[in-house]
Amino acid sequence: MGSLSEADDREVMAMRLLVLAIALILLLAPMTVAEAQEPRRTGATVTGRILDASSSAPVAAAEVMIEGTSIRAFSDSVGRYLLGRVPAGPQMLLVSALGYARSRIPLNVPGSGILVQDVQLAVRPLQMEGLIVVADPSSRARGELGTASVVDEQAIANQTAASLQGVLELIPGETLKPPGLDNLQQISLRAVPTSTSVSMTLGEPLAEDLASFGTLIIMDGVPLSNNANLQTLGPRGEVQITTSAGGGIDLRRVPASTIERVEVIRGVPSARYGDLTQGVIVVDTRASVVAPTVAARVDAQLLEGSLVGGRQFGLPHALTANVDLASNQISPGIRDDNAYRVSAQIAHRLAPGGDAAARGESGWSVFDTRVDFYQVYEDNPEDPEVFPGRASWSRDMGLRISERALLPLGDFGSLGITGSLDYTRQRSYRQALLVRGAMPFTDRVDEGRAFGRFIGGEYLSRLWLEGDSWQLYTRVEAAQPTWLLGLDHRARAGVELRREWNSGPGYRFDIEFPPQVTFNGVNGFDRPYSFDAIPGVATTAAYLDDRMRAVLPGAMALELQAGLRLDLLHDGGHWFSGIRDAVLQPRLNA
């Protein structure tokens, strides 16, 4: 029985091997037939070296291919390439390499054998369009003799900037930062050296008080003021928020796509400019015929898209529109913080004299009307594993309407009139865990008696800051170029009126969970006063300025700019009230 079983096993094994062999034959047969039916490609081998035309040095990593086919190869470290089975007959050899001009060489390929073809490539380095830097002391700044830098539209187009902050990185001495909308963006051209300890000892103004004037930013002839920004609890607040209050404006509100020209006056500006301690930045946005342009930028953190276009309607009218959208993931993969911006601008220019009138080079009037809108939102959600209970957000939205008119006066020069209304809606929120001992607290804001509450232990403090800041601004300026006593004079005189106020509800919090737990013996705890209870600020300024130029022997010139500015701070919130303070500022540049 055992022998029969072994015979049966051998028979079964043989049958399995036979079935496997038949299956392999059936599987391979179609492939063999297909290969037999497929015509085998024949041809010659094309080889050679890719060399630099000027130095005869080998060119590595050059792409070599036969036009119209999939036959291609790359040159090695000694410039050698090899193309196999090239069809016989006329062929076109294409050679390209980074930094070299592309080459097309006709070939007559034999039916078999080897064809040697060396190729020499002409150098064509990677280049961008050249930027012309003008260092003419008399024209580098419009009407200014102080130390200045000018960034024009061509330089801005080659800068990967998301906001005015990125454009200002082209100014010497500014720190380079990755483009984005993360964190607050401010500029300080000159630091204030006064220390807090010295100021308190000698009775001088504090450094932060002087720095609060900041760097003056003028956009389209109108100052962007931050004086009415009250989004802060001051130095005694324990739950702080990120805010631009007490300094310059947040530069994130100005997208780079709308900027045409930036002039940075690092030296002493003329008497035309006031309310500053750290220089002036003059920004001009687009208001002319612009070819429609759509741009987008995507990187690991920033996603931005912009649309800019301008069209002329007849000779006198030009309408320009700009829309910019940006979203910024501040720390992708680490935190969920994000920020985004929406910005739009419409500009209309009425200039019957064309571009010459817009530059003030003709006898025609010019009228510029602009409407600007922006939103800057930032969210910092809670990270319970790192900072439990801590979270914040901010919502800033602004609208500005401005009008500028340049009126020629014939032999009496010209008259410029500027007016604007600027509104900013600011909403901020911050929460944090606080710990304190049991103490009484009340939200009463005037004298009298009220019920208080005892607050103690650990609690989650929540704070809302709500501000509505306004600025009403107007300026009238007369300019008169003349020749007197052998000097070329460019004199101008002007008057400025400005009123700034905040009509927001102020900061709000639950009386049982206040944002401050430290008692101040003089003022007590912070109270939820409304911002509209704070009187507005009205100022008047008058200035006179003259820029003189004399031509000296030897093709040299001497320039001098002198001026005087008077700033008046009114006692009430309007210009017809009494004068609270006056500052006389002489200015001199040579």
Residues 18-28: tens digit of each pLDDT: 555 555 444 44
List CB contacts of 520: < 8 A, sequence separation 6 or more.
236
275 and 421 housed in the same domain: yes
Average pLDDT over residues 392-401: 94
102 and 183 housed in the same domain: no
Query: Can you tell me the distance from the alpha carbon of 448 to that of 452, in angstroms, rounded to the nearest whole number?
Result: 12
Structure tokens, 449: 């008696």
| pLDDT beyond 90 at 265 | no
115 and 8 housed in the same domain: no
Structure tokens, 416: 């410029």
What is the per-residue pLDDT across 63-102, written as a single tens digit (0 to 9) for each?
Answer: 999 988 889 999 998 899 999 989 988 888 999 998 888 8
Q: Which of 174, 299, 284, 184 lies closest to 232 in space, CA to CA?
A: 184
| pLDDT beyond 60 at 349 | yes
pLDDT band for 8, please (50, 70, 90 cuts). Answer: low
| pLDDT beyond 60 at 525 | no
Domain count within the chain: 3
Q: Is residue 138 part of a domain?
A: no
Of all helices (H) and strands (E), which one includes residue 150? strand 148-151
Q: Is residue 306 part of a domain?
A: yes
Of all helices (H) and strands (E), which one includes residue 542? strand 537-552
20 and 117 housed in the same domain: no
List CB contacts of 26: < 8 A, sequence separation 6 or more.
none
Q: Say which CATH number the domain at 76 has.
A: 2.60.40.1120
Alpha-carbon distance values, 587 to 65, 437, 480, 545, 547 (Å): 70, 56, 19, 9, 11
Local structure of residue 58 (DSSP, 8 states) = B
Local structure of residue 522 (DSSP, 8 states) = T
26 and 53 housed in the same domain: no
Instruction: Using the 3D structure, point to which of 103, 121, 139 is the last residue of a domain.
Output: 121
Work out the number of other CB atoms within 10 angstroms of the CB of residue 246: 17
Q: Is residue 127 part of a domain?
A: no
23 and 89 housed in the same domain: no
Alpha-carbon distance values, 199 to 193, 203, 522 (Å): 11, 5, 21
List CB contacts of 289: < 8 A, sequence separation 6 or more.
310, 311, 312, 318, 320
Which pLDDT score is estimated for 497? 95
Residue 509 contacts residue 463 (beta carbons within 8 Å)? yes
Average pLDDT over residues 353-374: 72
Q: Is residue 271 part of a domain?
A: yes
Residue 220 contacts residue 261 (beta carbons within 8 Å)? no
454 and 351 housed in the same domain: yes
The angle at the Cα of 439, spanning 433 to 443, to the nearest 5 degrees, equals: 80
76 and 165 housed in the same domain: no
pLDDT band for 16, please (50, 70, 90 cuts). Answer: low
Which pLDDT score is estimated for 191? 55
Structure tokens, 264: 């940075």
30 and 50 housed in the same domain: no
Which pLDDT score is estimated for 25? 47
- Residue 513 — left, alpha, or beta (φ > 0 → left; ψ -120 to 50 → alpha)? beta
Q: Is residue 128 part of a domain?
A: no
Which pLDDT score is estimated for 137? 45
Residue 503 contacts residue 532 (beta carbons within 8 Å)? yes
pTM of the model: 0.69
Work out the number of other CB atoms within 10 angstroms of the CB of residue 34: 9
As a whole number, the mean pLDDT across the chain is 80
- Check residues 285 and 521 and name the one with the higher pLDDT: 285
Q: Is residue 198 part of a domain?
A: yes
Average pLDDT over residues 543-569: 87
- Check residues 568 and 184 and name the one with the higher pLDDT: 568
67 and 206 housed in the same domain: no
| pLDDT beyond 80 at 109 | yes
CA contacts within 13 A on the Cβ side of 83:
30
Average pLDDT over residues 93-117: 90
Query: Can you tell me the distance from the alpha carbon of 402 to that of 425, in angstroms, rounded to the nearest whole number?
Result: 18
Structure tokens, 427: 């909403």
pLDDT band for 306, please (50, 70, 90 cuts). Answer: very high
Q: Is residue 135 part of a domain?
A: no
Range of the domain at 496: 148-589
pLDDT band for 10, please (50, 70, 90 cuts). Answer: low
68 and 20 housed in the same domain: no
244 and 160 housed in the same domain: yes
Q: Is residue 132 part of a domain?
A: no
Average pLDDT over residues 42-64: 90
pLDDT band for 471, please (50, 70, 90 cuts). Answer: very high
Structure tokens, 199: 């100021």
Query: Can you tell me the distance from the alpha carbon of 309 to that of 440, in angstroms, rounded to the nearest whole number?
Result: 61
